[in-house]
C-alpha cells in the first residue's frame, strides 16, 4: 500500500484523494484553509455550477486554454460520471440555461458535502489548517513536504492540486506554482481569465448597477478589422467598467498591452432598417414631446440620458423637429456604442487563472509529471482554463480523477 499526499482540497484535490484511496492507497489530504472547498463554495454565486449537460465532445469548444491536453481526462471521467457521483449520494441536480448543472437546493455546500462524505467513506485523512510550506527532493523524487513550517510528512507519491492565483482570499495564492517551479517545471505566463474589464469612457460609472440583457458585444483589437470575439447575452455596468457573463467570457481575448474597443449592440435582434422603423413608430406616438421623453419604451431608464448625450440631439428638442439624419445617427448609436478598454481587472478578481504548470511537461493520459517520477498535478494549477458554464469544475474533477487513478 502506497502512501499518497494530496496538496489542496478543492474539487480537483478532493477527487484525486477519493480516487487514490479507492485504488488501495493510504491517502492524506492537506488543506491550508479551515474548511474544504473554499473557492468551490462561492462558485456560481454560491450555487456551484458543478458541470454541464452538453455532450462531452462539445466541451472543447468552451475551453480556450489547451483543450487538446484535456481529451483523455474529460473522456475518462465525463460529465455523466460527475452527475452520477453526486446523485448516487442522494444529492439531486438540475440543469439550467446553457446546460449548466446546479444542485437542486441551489447550495454549493451540498456539492462540498458530497465530496466530503466520499473522503470519509474512503478513509482519507483530511488535515485542515495544514499549509505546505516546502517540498523536499531526494535523488530526483519528492521525499517529504513541510507543513506549517513545523513538521515533515513523508510519502511515496504526491499530487499538487493547489489551484491558480485568482480569488486569493479563498487560499489560491499560487503556492503550488512556486513549488512546481522549484521542482523544475516551467510555469506559463499567469493571466486573469474570466475577469471584469475597466473602461475609459467616463459616462460608464453613471450606469453602475445597470444590467443589459439580450445584447451583443464585439471585441476588436484596433489593428484588426475582424472581431476577436462576438456573442449575445447579458452584461452589467460597474463603477469602473463592465462585467457579467458576456464580458467575463470576452476578457479571455484581451491582454493588458494592446488597444481594444468593445462595440455594444443594444438591439441585436433588429437590423438597422427595422430599428429605424421602430424608432419612427415611437416618434409618431410621442410626436409633440421632447426628445428626452420619447425613448422610455425603447431603452432602460438609466441608459436614456447617456444615449441622449452621445446622440448629440438636444434633450429638449421636439420629436417632430428631429431630422432624418439625426434619427439615422441615433439608430447607428444604439446598434454600436463604442467602449474603450482601459485594462483588465486584477488577476485576484478573475474567476479563473489562465496559465500554470506547462502542459508539455505533464502526461495527459495520467496527469503525471514528466520531470518528477512520483508527482502528478490536478485542476487549475495546470495551464488549462475554460469559460463559465460548469466546465472549469468538470476539468478539476476529471484531472483529479486521472491523477488519483495513476499514483
Confidence tier at 133 by pLDDT (50, 70, 90):
very high
Rounded mean pLDDT, 121-149? 96
Q: Which residue has the cell 502506497?
A: 2
Q: For residue 163, count other CB atoms closer than 10 A to its CB.
A: 31
pLDDT given at position 168 = 73
Tens digits of residue pLDDT in 21-63: 999 999 999 999 999 999 999 888 889 999 999 999 999 999 9
In this chain, the answer to whether the domains covering 3-191+353-405 and 196-345 adopt an identical fold is no
Confidence tier at 141 by pLDDT (50, 70, 90):
very high
Domain ranges of the chain: 3-191+353-405, 196-345
196-345: what fold? Helicase, Ruva Protein; domain 3 (1.10.8)
pLDDT given at position 134 = 96
C-alpha 50/C-alpha 336 separation (Å) is 36
pLDDT given at position 258 = 87
Tens digits of residue pLDDT in 303-330: 999 999 999 999 999 999 999 999 999 9
pLDDT given at position 53 = 98
pLDDT given at position 338 = 96
Give the helix/strand (H/E) hosting 205: none
Average pLDDT along the chain: 95
Q: Write the CATH number of the domain with boundaries 3-191+353-405.
A: 3.50.50.60
pLDDT given at position 24 = 95
Confidence tier at 204 by pLDDT (50, 70, 90):
very high
Q: For residue 66, count other CB atoms closer than 10 A to its CB.
A: 19
C-alpha 329/C-alpha 310 separation (Å) is 10
C-alpha 310/C-alpha 316 separation (Å) is 15
pLDDT given at position 259 = 94
| Contact (Cβ atoms closer than 8 angstroms) between residue 132 and residue 32 | yes
Rounded mean pLDDT, 221-246? 93
Kindly state the cell numbers that stand for 364.
495527459
Closest of 216, 242, 243 to residue 231, by C-alpha: 216
Helix 391-405 and helix 79-87, axial crossing angle in degrees, nearest 10: 90
| Contact (Cβ atoms closer than 8 angstroms) between residue 209 and residue 237 | yes
| Contact (Cβ atoms closer than 8 angstroms) between residue 196 and residue 43 | no
pLDDT given at position 267 = 97
pLDDT given at position 281 = 94
pLDDT given at position 352 = 83
C-alpha 375/C-alpha 18 separation (Å) is 17
pLDDT at 171 over 80: no
Rounded mean pLDDT, 214-236? 94
C-alpha 232/C-alpha 402 separation (Å) is 35
Rounded mean pLDDT, 96-108? 95
DSSP 268-287: TTS-HHHHHHHHHHHHHHTT
Rounded mean pLDDT, 228-256? 93
pLDDT given at position 194 = 87
| Contact (Cβ atoms closer than 8 angstroms) between residue 367 and residue 73 | yes
Tens digits of residue pLDDT in 331-350: 999 999 999 999 999 988 88
Amino acid at each position: 500500500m502506497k502512501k499518497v499526499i494530496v496538496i489542496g482540497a478543492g474539487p480537483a484535490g478532493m477527487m484525486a484523494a477519493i480516487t487514490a484511496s479507492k485504488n488501495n492507497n493510504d491517502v492524506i489530504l492537506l488543506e491550508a484553509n479551515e474548511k474544504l472547498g473554499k473557492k468551490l463554495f462561492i462558485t456560481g454565486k454560491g450555487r456551484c455550477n458543478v458541470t454541464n449537460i452538453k455532450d462531452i465532445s462539445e466541451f472543447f469548444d468552451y475551453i480556450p486554454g489547451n483543450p487538446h491536453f484535456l481529451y483523455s481526462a474529460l473522456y475518462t471521467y465525463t460529465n455523466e460520471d460527475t452527475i452520477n457521483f453526486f446523485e448516487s449520494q442522494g444529492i439531486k441536480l438540475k440543469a439550467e440555461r446553457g446546460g449548466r448543472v446546479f444542485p437542486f437546493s441551489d447550495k454549493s455546500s451540498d456539492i462540498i458535502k458530497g465530496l466530503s462524505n466520499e473522503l470519509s467513506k474512503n478513509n482519507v485523512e483530511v488535515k485542515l489548517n495544514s499549509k505546505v510550506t516546502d517540498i523536499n527532493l531526494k535523488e530526483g523524487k519528492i521525499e517529504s513536504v513541510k507543513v506549517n513550517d513545523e513538521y515533515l510528512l513523508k510519502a511515496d507519491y504526491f499530487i499538487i492540486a493547489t489551484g491558480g492565483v485568482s480569488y486569493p482570499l479563498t487560499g489560491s495564492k499560487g503556492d503550488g506554482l512556486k513549488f512546481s517551479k522549484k521542482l523544475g517545471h516551467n510555469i506559463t505566463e499567469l493571466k486573469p481569465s474570466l475577469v471584469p474589464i475597466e473602461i475609459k469612457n467616463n459616462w460608464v460609472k453613471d450606469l453602475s448597477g445597470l444590467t443589459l440583457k439580450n445584447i451583443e458585444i464585439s471585441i476588436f483589437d484596433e489593428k484588426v478589422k475582424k472581431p476577436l470575439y462576438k456573442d449575445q447575452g447579458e452584461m452589467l455596468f460597474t463603477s469602473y467598467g463592465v462585467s457579467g457573463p458576456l464580458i467575463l467570457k470576452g476578457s479571455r481575448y484581451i491582454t493588458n498591452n494592446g488597444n481594444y474597443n468593445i462595440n455594444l449592440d443594444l438591439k441585436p435582434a433588429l437590423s438597422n432598417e427595422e430599428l429605424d422603423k421602430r424608432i419612427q413608430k415611437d416618434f409618431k406616438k410621442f410626436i409633440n414631446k421632447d426628445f428626452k421623453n420619447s425613448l422610455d419604451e425603447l431603452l432602460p431608464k438609466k441608459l436614456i440620458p447617456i444615449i441622449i448625450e452621445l446622440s448629440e440631439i438636444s434633450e429638449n428638442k421636439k420629436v417632430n423637429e428631429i431630422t432624418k439624419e439625426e434619427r439615422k445617427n441615433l439608430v447607428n448609436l444604439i446598434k454600436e456604442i463604442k467602449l474603450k478598454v482601459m485594462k483588465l481587472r486584477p488577476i485576484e478578481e478573475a474567476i479563473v487563472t489562465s496559465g500554470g504548470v506547462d502542459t508539455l511537461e505533464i502526461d495527459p493520459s495520467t496527469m503525471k509529471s514528466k520531470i518528477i517520477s512520483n508527482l502528478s498535478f490536478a485542476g487549475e494549477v495546470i495551464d488549462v482554463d475554460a469559460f463559465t458554464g460548469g466546465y472549469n469544475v468538470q476539468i478539476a474533477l476529471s484531472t483529479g480523477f486521472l491523477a488519483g487513478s495513476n499514483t
